Every structure is written in C-alpha cells, then in structure tokens.
Amino acid sequence: MENNNEKMNAMGLVGMILGILALIISFVPCLGAYAIFPGVVGIIFSVLGLKKVQKGMAIAGLVCSIVGTGVAAWQWYVLNQAATEISKIDTTELQ
C-alpha cells in the first residue's frame, strides 16, 4: 500500500517539476510558446497525483502548469497573429 502512495507522490512531484519548467519557459520570448507541451503533461501528472494522500505538491504543480500553459498559449496566439499579419504584407510595394 505504501508503494502506491509513493507512486502518486512521485506523480505529484513530476507534475510540479514540469509545471515549474513550463512556467519558466513560458516567459522566454519567442520560445515560450513551446511551454505548452510540458505544461499539458504537468497538468496530467498533477491531476493523477491529486488522487492520493499528500496533495500539496500536486496542487502546486497543477497551479504552475496551468499558469505556464496559459502564458504559453497566449504567446502561441500572438506569434500566430503576427505571422498572419506579416504574410499579408505586399512585397511589391517595398521595391
């Protein structure tokens, strides 16, 4: 029974580490959009870690993952909009 709790604590720990990683990467300009991937995986691990006894680490991981994923999704949206606007520029006017 103790081994199962350790696995869940490990899931909470992994979720927290991925959440912190996503949070840090999400604030790096132009690279932050890629924080979506560790953020989503961190959310999954944190939710799985919430199912057992010690929930503090899993909650911290969940919060960090959600914030990091949110910032990364916003950066992804802004970069996508910028690329769309750049592609609309008529290069014949520049020559």
pLDDT digits (tens, 9 = 90+) for 33-82: 889 999 999 999 988 888 776 678 888 889 999 999 999 999 999 989 98
**How does residue 1 score in pLDDT terms, banded at 50, 70 and 90?**
very low
Domain-located, residue 93? no
Predicted TM-score of the model (pTM)? 0.79
Question: In total, how many domains does the chain have?
Answer: 1
pLDDT at 2: 52
Domain-located, residue 24? yes
Single out the residue of 62, 75, 59, 72 nearest to residue 18, CA to CA.
Answer: 62
Q: Taking residues 12-23, report their average pLDDT.
A: 90
Domain-located, residue 43? yes
Domain-located, residue 26? yes
Domain limits for position 63? 2-88
pLDDT at 57: 84
pLDDT exceeds cutoff 90 at 95: no
Q: What angle do CA 57, 63, 67 make, to 5 degrees?
A: 145
Domain-located, residue 30? yes
